[in-house]
Chains A and B, each alone.
Chain A
Amino acid sequence: MNPPRNGFGPLPLLAIVLPGRALQMSAPGRRPCRGLVMGRSSRGLRRALVTLTALPTLAANLLGPAAAGPHPADPGRGRGPGLFAGAAGAFVYCFHCTEEAAPFIAIWYTLGIAVVNGPRGAFGAAPCCAGKRLFTIQGANSASEIRLETPPHAQIHHTQVPHFGRACLGALLALVFSISLGHAAPPLP
């Protein structure tokens, strides 16, 4: 099943971001535009930390590849894992980020999540497809075929791993990774 298409592309996002940006720029005593967009504490590769923090969650999708289920022939289904991993990474990154300007969040957080997701969810699908090759039965093309061909005692490895468990593990990995990054690169003064 493909993710729903709203037919409006990025317009919903712009509809949220642009009015907020207009309000902020019209506020008295506003900071210069460059400071709002580029931030005051970020420098160079620091913005890439959103992407880096998302990697453990993306890797955690390996643990339940058939349940997460994007088939290699349908990479668009990687949008779910990609979005989830990117946003979970950004969520953890929030606790280290001192920037609070709406344009900074709208641009860099969204970009970081989009990078993890990849075009049409291709990056989100990659670990699931790789894991699917590792864990599933040769020749099975869908989760239903896997369920039919797998002995009952082994099915839990393929179809019944709760995604919530993977989510918790991914968040835990991301937290440890983020804390280690925070120690390695403390916030700029």
Chain B
Amino acid sequence: MTHPGMWIKLAYTFAIAAFGLWLVERGRPALGRK
């Protein structure tokens, strides 16, 4: 866990996952809106 490469891998995949989640939430209807 202390190697920089490990943190790079985690940050890289986390950023892509966050982007995917943002795309999902962006295309989703707002809660509670009729």
Contact = CB atoms under 8 A, between A and B. Distances in A.
Chain A interface mostly helix, strand, loop or mixed?
A: helix
B26 A80 contact: yes
B3 to A, nearest CB: 6
Contact of B28 (A67, A85, A100): A67
Interface residues of A, number: 36
Contacts of A70: 27
B7 to A, nearest CB: 10
B33 to A, nearest CB: 9
A80 B5 contact: no
A160 B31 contact: yes
Contacts of A85: 20
Given A105-B9, A143-B28, A163-B28, A91 B20 contact: no
A186 interface: no
Contact of A105 (B8, B15, B17): B8
A47 B13 CA distance: 15
Contact of B13 (A80, A81, A94, A148): A94
Contacts of B23: 3, 77, 79-80, 83-84
A90 interface: yes
Given A91-B10, A100-B8, A159-B31, A84 B20 contact: yes
A82 interface: yes
Interface of A: 1, 3, 67-70, 77, 79-88, 90-91, 94, 97, 99-102, 105, 109, 113, 143-144, 147-148, 159-160, 163, 167
